[in-house]
A and B are shown apart, each in its own frame.
Chain A
Amino acid sequence: MLAQIHVTFKEGVLDPQGKTVHHALNDLGYEEVLDVNIGKYLEIKLDSASKEEAEIRVREMCEQLLANTVIESFRFTLVPTD
């Protein structure tokens, strides 16, 4: 099983990287760009007995370590690998 995890800033938290990329895209003529939010993407290979168990454990990993829930939110999908 593969967990594909996205960690991004919560709404209202300043994202200076996202802001800079937003301006750069506008400068390149992509005027339709309204907002850019830069985050992290993690892939975690798992040896879990079931999808339900993986779901619980990955959520725990995100809350305990992978995201700082004061400033970041996370979402993930579980993909079977074999």
Chain B
Amino acid sequence: MKCGIVVFPGSNCDHDCYHILKHVLNQETHWLWHKDEVNLESFDLVVLPGGFSYGDYLRAGAIARFSPIINSIISFAKKGGKVLGICNGFQVLLECGLLPGALIQNQSRKFICKNVFVNIDNPDTSFTQGCGENRVLEIPIAHHQGSYYIDPYSLTELEENGQIIFRYCDKSGNVSAESNPNGSVGSVAGVANKQKNIMGMMPHPERCADPLLSKTDGQIIFQSLISNS
């Protein structure tokens, strides 16, 4: 699988994503500088990593979405190219309209950094097919603006189209207010577009995908993408 990792000024999970794809999973991986417009036709996957692009000024992802590389990503995605946005990358995908909804400040007004459980709401996508019988993943979150918002009508639409990929849950997979860390509507932790080739998620799978660290649930997402490329 040929992967591209986008680097914005302020990205800080770009090296983690690069390390997992290139050194842990042995995939061909390239950096994509945000100022460049690149023909991405030969790529299988583009990752927009976490961090604080442009210092989160104005709104998280609001400035980054006007970077030249975004035009390349939009045409890549329109042709069915797979795009994964993690944390700040998810915020960028929402700001540029590739995914529906928005992310606002956590209900607690605090930056939350901890391991959470997510339930795989749609196991039939190229991001989740590798989960097998395993429906609950433990993946860390680290964000201040991670509360997903969409109006109730559009939320129903997302549910009907299978666009909700992950929901926050407890260890056994129960979705409830107690297991929702940030106040997201419908406990949504990750959504996809209708065609399911673009996915954004707040949890960080790249932070739990190296066997050197104790937890490796995040690998499932990258492995799914590799098997589908």
Contact = CB atoms under 8 A, between A and B. Distances in A.
Interface of A: 9, 12-14, 16-17, 20, 65-66, 68, 70-71
A65 B58 CA distance: 9
Contacts of A17: 105, 109
Given A17-B105, A17-B109, A20-B109, A65 B62 contact: yes
Nearest to B101: A70
A14 B101 contact: no
A11 B32 CA distance: 39
Nearest to B147: A14
A16 B102 contact: no
Given A14-B147, A16-B183, A68-B59, 13 more contacts: A9-B104, A13-B149, A14-B104, A17-B105, A17-B109, A20-B109, A65-B62, A65-B63, A65-B66, A70-B101, A70-B149, A70-B150, A71-B104
Nearest to B151: A12
A16 B59 contact: no
A43 to B, nearest CB: 14
A65 B106 CA distance: 22
Given A68-B102, A70-B102, A16 B58 contact: no
Contacts of A16: 105-109, 183
A20 B183 CA distance: 15
Contacts, number: 35
B121 interface: no
Contacts of A20: 109
Contacts of B95: 68
A70 B147 CA distance: 14
A24 to B, nearest CB: 12
Contacts of A14: 104, 107, 147, 149, 183
B62 A68 contact: yes
Interface string B33-60: 0000000000000000000000000110
Contacts of B63: 65
B102 A71 contact: yes
Nearest to B183: A14
Contacts of A68: 59, 62, 95, 102
24 contacts: A9-B104, A12-B151, A13-B149, A14-B147, A14-B149, A14-B183, A16-B106, A16-B183, A17-B105, A17-B109, A20-B109, A65-B58, A65-B62, A65-B66, A66-B58, A68-B59, A68-B62, A68-B95, A68-B102, A70-B101, A70-B102, A70-B149, A71-B104, A71-B149
A68 B151 CA distance: 14
Contacts of B150: 70
